[in-house]
Amino acid sequence: MRKVVLITGAARNIGFAVAEKFAEEGYDVCITSRKQDSADAAAKEIGDIYKDVTVKGYAMETEYPEKIHETFKKVFDDFGRLDTLVANAADPGYNQSILSTTPEQYDHVMNSNARGYFFCCQEAAKIMKEQHSGSIVLIGSVHSKRALPGRITYAASKGAIDVLNRNMCYELGKFGIRSNLIVVGAVYNDRWAAYTEADYEKKRANWPLGMESYPEDIANSAYFLSSDKARTISGSELIVDSGVMSVMLSYNKNWDNEKDEREKLVK
Ligand SMILES: NC(=O)c1ccc[n+]([C@@H]2O[C@H](COP(=O)([O-])OP(=O)(O)OC[C@H]3O[C@@H](n4cnc5c(N)ncnc54)[C@H](OP(=O)(O)O)[C@@H]3O)[C@@H](O)[C@H]2O)c1
């Protein structure tokens, strides 16, 4: 029987690369997106390349626990098992500072990210407990470890995910379930296509490796963490960020006069 992976927010960027990697490794793959047609298009694209595996798309909004429950039920009905969950879908929550964030903005980001990851993990763990095996990979962020202005709710949501990782390692280990976190930073995604070469040069100058990471770099790490090669690794945090987090960034006193330009690029 083939192994089964579910990746949230996998219609593009990091999630898509993770889905492709697991398909290449012979897994049946479940892709979620908030939009059914996006999930289906990604599933078709990967399925057309890896014809020996089944790739299926599911509509799921991580903001709503009942939608998460329904989706995992469908996945179990379709495949009868779940070996790996890669929790990846997240709202970037741009331009939210401690002084400006509304309760509605806070709830949206925290519910989509912290609560969304939590209940995806709960649903996965219920299935994996019955199998007495499984691996959960949480896609985290350097923002939970270092501060940048205007990302406070996103950073807090990712901090909750770091805590979730440690606690799942403790609670789920005896059921044969491992949990690990990838601390992600400086990874190219489709929004970066809007940057000029000068923007890239400016960004790269801040990174010890002088280059951005790519979705495939995260996909390789996610696959390693869920594979038997990592069978005794649980509760770990693997940093994949081109070295960003090791750098003491210069402080910008005028941060509150600058909007995060990436906000308008969000799809
Ligand atoms: N790229 C980086 O440098 C970087 C750095 C640190 C952390 N990360 C983390 O890496 C993961 C993937 O990010 P990415 O760079 O590949 O960007 P991304 O494509 O923008 O994010 C992943 C997916 O999350 C889904 N999503 C967005 N807002 C959502 C919401 N409110 N509720 C539910 N789902 C939502 C979207 O899928 P649909 O539109 O199809 O639903 C989106 O494609 C995220 O967890 C992100 O926090 C990335």
Among 154, 170, 223, 251, which one carries the catalytic annotation? 154
State yes or no: is 195 an active-site residue: no
Full residue range of the structural domain in which residue 248 is found? 4-265
Tokens of 24: 């290449």
Place of tokens 């509605």: 104
Task: Identify the three-state secondary structure at position 32.
Answer: strand
174 Cα–ligand 1 center, Å: 31
| Confidence check: pLDDT of 247 > 90 | no
Based on the structure, what is the number of domains in the chain?
Answer: 1
pLDDT of 267 = 67
Mean pLDDT to the nearest integer, 221-240? 98
pLDDT of 70 = 98
109 contacts 73 by C-beta, under 8 angstroms = no
| Confidence check: pLDDT of 23 > 70 | yes
Atom of ligand 1 nearest to the CA of 266: 20
pLDDT bucket at 258, cuts 50 / 70 / 90: confident
pLDDT bucket at 250, cuts 50 / 70 / 90: low
Q: What is the pLDDT of residues 120-149, one digit of tens each?
A: 999 999 999 999 999 999 999 999 999 999
CB of 234 sitting under 6 A from ligand 1: no
Greater confidence (258 vs 189) lies with 189
- Which residues are registered as beta bridge partners of 89? none
Domain harbouring 188, CATH code = 3.40.50.720
Query: pLDDT > 90: what percent of the chain?
Result: 89
CB of 33 sitting under 6 A from ligand 1: yes
- CA pair distance 191, 50, nearest whole angstrom: 27
Tokens of 48: 């057309």
CB of 43 sitting under 6 A from ligand 1: no
Tokens of 157: 């949501």
11 Cα–ligand 1 center, Å: 10
Greater confidence (253 vs 109) lies with 109
Mean of the per-residue pLDDT values of the chain: 95
pLDDT of 253 = 82
pTM of the predicted structure, to 2 decimals: 0.95
pLDDT of 38 = 98
pLDDT of 255 = 79
Q: What is the pLDDT of residues 46-60, one digit of tens each?
A: 999 999 999 999 999
Mean pLDDT to the nearest integer, 2-12? 98
pLDDT bucket at 262, cuts 50 / 70 / 90: confident
CB of 206 sitting under 6 A from ligand 1: no
